[in-house]
């Protein structure tokens, strides 16, 4: 009897240990889907009628400049102090300004050999969706629970298939999530997926079956994610989409419901907590902020989160102040934490802010030109900037060490390269260009070059020899590094203009034909005329023309090869 009692206790202990392990993030059945060296096959089967519902509305599909159309609405809402949400749509973000609502349609899906029927599938994203209008390459969200209540796949109710439309390397997002996890920031797991699509008619007769590309498979941030990382999902999870960081929107919750986009149902206490902290950030004087901010903010987690974003020059994010991050009000500490999301244009690839050089040399203390009170005020508190700098130094010597990152890029590149042609005939060429060691005309911002220059810039900023560069939306790019090239090109244009006029004069002195040829084909025509046709009239002009040709040749050569000859 005593043996049975002990045996039962042992069984209960095993069950309890298993439950606790699952709650706090031990390996679960979904783990086999993820990893930077892991790829699964995903096969979507959808009826033609459902697939037609997935297509963009006709008025959107016919737009010649969908980005321009969407941004016109954004600019208007920014001016009004509104949210990043158009009245044309129920969804936040850029795509909503085209009147787009991502609606689920019904499909069957096979992932890693397992089939799940009657799942919901829809397009996802904003900029990537609009880019998809022009490339017919979209990202997808899969909801296993949309049509069959309680249905899940390997412990998950949702999963994302990201097209990485703006990332030919298909690894910026993967590398970024990996870095955040290494910095002990809860981040989505990620793997790769070869995605295939079958369209069938009502009798399930196959109409079309084709591969649609190599995607990243990204874990959804939801209650399952929270339980795996925090052991509880009782906190408040939000995905802000408004013009400002942790923006103060008054004393009524309705505006926060729109701007902060809660993903879990907030309690009255949680609502109050959000509004109080927003007020403290934006309305309280600095002395009061300094006295009370640690009651609301997990400062250590925040500094690590900020350090990772700045190291990666992850500008389409928390740093730009509108979207692509989550905020979690952790229930035990009752403090806010920040979580990363949607990082396919990290590694300084967000072209709407600054130029490539500025993004590579992004300031660690003032990354953006606009005011960001939650960044500025936290770093103004004594000791925080030093701790933040210490994290940046630690990460650039460990998890973002140059040799570590370059080896990781090479390793993932070797894994991904054989599959990238699923994304089109030019995908491998674009992949190789973005993995090059140095910029080229066709790829101004390769991945390895970013890592190298980012390291140099951060080291210089930490030792006080550089301030880095702040970036902003729009405006003029930072042209200072290009001044020598611009000035020298203008000088050459002036010299060539003199030669052009000279060639016209001597040409017309010989004949109308050569005068006209020298107008339209300078400096080559004056050189031929002076050396071969009329040496008595045009020899000196021909010599001058050859000087101009040689000068332009040297200018172009140095433009592309000066770093190889003289170094950085």
Taking the CA of residue 128 as centre, how many other CA atoms within 13 Å lie in the half-sphere pointing to its CB? 23
CA distance 123 to 139: 6
CB-based contact 413:169 (threshold 8 Å): yes
- Helix, strand or coil, per DSSP, at residue 390: helix
CA distance 192 to 423: 13
Which residues is 141 bridged to in the sheet?
122, 160
Q: What angle do CA 365, 370, 375 make, to 5 degrees?
A: 45
End-to-end CA distance of the chain: 79
Look at the alpha carbons of 433, 438, 441, 446 in this order and tell me if their dihedral is positive or negative.
positive
- Residues with Cβ within 8 Å of 20's Cβ and at least 6 positions away in sequence, in order, are none
568 residues of the chain, pLDDT tens digit each: 443 333 444 444 444 444 444 444 445 789 999 999 999 999 999 999 999 999 998 889 888 899 888 988 888 888 878 888 888 888 889 999 999 999 999 999 999 999 999 999 999 999 999 999 989 999 999 999 999 999 999 999 999 999 999 999 999 999 999 999 999 999 999 999 999 999 988 766 666 678 999 999 999 999 999 999 999 999 999 999 998 899 999 999 999 999 999 999 999 999 999 999 999 999 999 999 999 999 999 999 999 999 999 999 999 998 987 789 999 999 999 999 999 999 999 999 999 999 899 999 999 999 998 889 999 999 999 999 999 999 999 999 999 999 999 999 999 999 999 999 999 999 999 999 999 999 888 888 999 999 999 999 999 999 999 999 999 876 444 455 567 888 889 998 999 899 899 989 988 988 999 889 989 998 999 999 889 999 988 899 989 999 999 999 998 988 877 666 655 5
The pTM (predicted TM-score) of the whole model is: 0.81
Nearest by Cα to 345 from 356, 332, 329, 334:
356
Q: In what order do the strands lie in the sheet with 236-238?
A: 236-238, 325-330, 335-340
Torsion of Cα atoms, 123 then 125 then 131 then 132, to 10°:
-10
Give Cα 548 to chain centroid, integer Å: 43
Give Cα 423 to chain centroid, integer Å: 19
Annotated domain spans of the chain: 29-226, 229-478, 482-566
């Amino acid at each position: 009897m005593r043996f049975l009692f002990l045996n039962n206790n042992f069984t209960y202990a095993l069950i309890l240990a298993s439950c606790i392990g699952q709650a706090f993030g031990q390996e679960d059945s979904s783990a086999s889907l993820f990893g930077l060296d892991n790829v699964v096959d995903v096969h979507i089967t959808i009826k033609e009628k459902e697939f037609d519902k997935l297509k963009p509305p006709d008025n959107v599909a016919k737009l010649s400049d969908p980005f321009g159309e969407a941004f016109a609405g954004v600019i208007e809402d920014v001016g009004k102090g509104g949210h990043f949400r158009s009245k044309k749509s129920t969804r936040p973000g850029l795509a909503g300004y085209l009147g787009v609502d991502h609606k689920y349609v019904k499909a069957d899906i096979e992932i890693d050999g397992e089939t799940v029927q009657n799942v919901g599938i829809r397009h996802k994203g904003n900029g990537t969706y609009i880019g998809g209008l022009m490339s017919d390459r979209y990202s997808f969200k899969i909801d296993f629970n949309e049509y069959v209540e309680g249905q899940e796949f390997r412990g998950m109710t949702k999963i994302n298939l990201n097209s990485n439309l703006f990332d030919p390397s298909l690894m910026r997002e993967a590398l970024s999530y990996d870095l955040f996890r290494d910095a002990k920031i809860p981040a989505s797991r990620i793997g790769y997926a070869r995605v295939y699509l079958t369209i069938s008619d009502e009798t399930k007769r196959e109409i079309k079956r084709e591969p649609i590309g190599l995607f990243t498979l990204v874990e959804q941030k939801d209650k399952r994610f929270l339980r795996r990382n925090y052991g509880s999902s009782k906190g408040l999870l939000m995905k802000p989409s408004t013009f400002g960081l942790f923006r103060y929107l008054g004393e009524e919750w309705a505006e926060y419901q729109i701007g902060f986009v809660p993903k879990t149902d907030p309690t009255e206490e949680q609502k109050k907590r959000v509004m109080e902290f927003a007020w403290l950030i934006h309305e309280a004087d600095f002395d009061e902020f300094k006295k009370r901010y640690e009651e609301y903010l997990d400062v250590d987690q925040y500094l690590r989160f900020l350090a990772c974003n700045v190291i990666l020059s992850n500008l389409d994010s928390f740093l730009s102040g509108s979207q692509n991050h989550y905020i979690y009000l952790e229930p035990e500490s009752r403090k806010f934490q920040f979580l990363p999301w949607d990082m396919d244009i990290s590694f300084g690839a967000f072209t709407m802010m600054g130029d490539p050089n500025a993004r590579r040399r992004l300031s660690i203390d003032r990354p953006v030109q606009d005011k960001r009170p939650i960044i500025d005020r936290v770093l103004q508190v004594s000791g925080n900037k030093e701790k933040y700098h210490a994290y940046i130094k630690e990460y650039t010597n460990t998890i973002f060490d140059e040799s570590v990152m370059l080896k990781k890029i090479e390793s993932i590149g070797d894994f991904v390269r054989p599959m990238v042609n699923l994304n089109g005939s030019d995908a491998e060429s674009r992949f190789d260009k973005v993995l090059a060691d140095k910029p080229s005309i066709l790829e101004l911002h390769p991945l390895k070059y970013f890592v190298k220059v980012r390291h140099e810039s951060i080291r210089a900023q930490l030792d006080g020899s550089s301030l880095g560069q702040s970036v902003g939306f729009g405006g003029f790019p930072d042209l200072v590094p290009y001044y020598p090239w611009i000035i020298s090109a203008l000088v050459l244009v002036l010299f060539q203009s003199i030669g052009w006029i000279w060639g016209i004069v001597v040409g017309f002195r010989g004949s109308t034909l050569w005068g006209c040829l020298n107008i339209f084909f300078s400096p080559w025509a004056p050189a031929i005329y002076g050396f071969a046709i009329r040496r008595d009239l045009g020899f000196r002009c021909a010599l001058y023309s050859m000087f101009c040709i040689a000068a332009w040749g040297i200018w172009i050569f140095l433009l592309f090869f000066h770093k190889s000859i003289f170094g950085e």
